[in-house]
Amino acid sequence: MKEKDKQKGIFREYFESFVETLIIALFGMTFVVQAVTVPTASMQNTILVGDYLLVNKFIFPAGGDTVSFLPQREIQRGDIIVFKYPGNRVDPASDRRRGLVPYQISYVKRVIALPGETVEFRNNNVYINGELLPEHRITADMPVGVVDEDSSALQVKSEEPREPNQLWDVYYSSASMESARKGNLPVDPRMNFGVPGKVIKVPEDSYFVMGDNRDNSDDSRFWGFVHRDLIIGKAMFIYWSCDRNASDNTFLSCLLNPRLERIGKIIR
């Protein structure tokens, strides 16, 4: 074989290998996994602003029909899901004021109620079908002197003893928990579906979702339910995390200010 032909053969081999790798990567990003970042503090301290997540798009089968030999299952209570924001159909003007376009932004929340179930809120407790939802409640506030609240973890003040069936943590502010103890918890005027004492029924093929940072979460209590078709997948783990307070929101600055203790953390 001539040297020129040999070089062409090597080039072709590398090119074909690159194309195959690119196709596999594109297939994976389209059907199996997706990378997302968290823009708001609604899931603190479970997920922090500056965390970059990998999302399993394969685990929840389209149409709800699972294949027995594949690692698929139905959406369950407690799952942290990524979905397309459906928009506030009760108050569309609120989206316009905030610059939100329905279906154009991805949200990350925890599934609280499943299709056909009822949801009720009383004194910072959630009731599903009339029974108390087992959540581990933690009282936590923003650290004193913090300028950018969305970029800082909540500072734990106290927490209730954890029961064996409490599989995840939720965070309420000190002011909120004090009001709940006194029985005079104020109702957010923007709230349409989470008013205390109001029983809500989740429609079929839809889910009621909430952020773990309960006093700072734009979720189903305000704009309603998430239809199954809008759900992208389940948050798996944090593949990168950077300190937004120490960075200037540029790519390079995020690389230079990692939160190493969060990288690789499984999302639960």
Pairing mode of beta strands 169-172, 200-201: unpaired
Q: What's the CA gap between 69 and 52, in Å, rounded? A: 30
Quick check: is 201 catalytic? no
Tokens of 102: 């329905």
Q: In angstroms, rounded to a whole number, what is the distance separating the alpha carbons of residues 81 and 47? A: 12
**Interatomic CA distance for residues 120 and 196, integer angstroms:** 7
Based on the number of CB atoms within 10 Å of its own CB, is 220 exposed (0-12), middle (13-18) or buried (19 or more)? buried
Closest CA to 259 of 47, 56, 110, 55: 47
Choosing from 109, 220, 234, 241, the catalytic residue is 109
User: What is the rounded distance in angstroms from the CA atom of residue 54 to the CA atom of residue 177?
Assistant: 33
17 in catalytic set: no
Cβ contacts of 157 within 8 Å, gap of 6 or more: 139, 140, 141, 174
Instruction: Point out the catalytic residue in the list 42, 152, 217, 220.
Output: 42
List, in sequence order, every residue forming a beta bridge with 169; answer none if it has no partner.
136
Cα–Cα distance, 219 to 35 (Å, whole number): 21
State the alpha helices, DSSP H only, in 28-173: 92-98
Q: Which residues are catalytic?
A: 42, 109
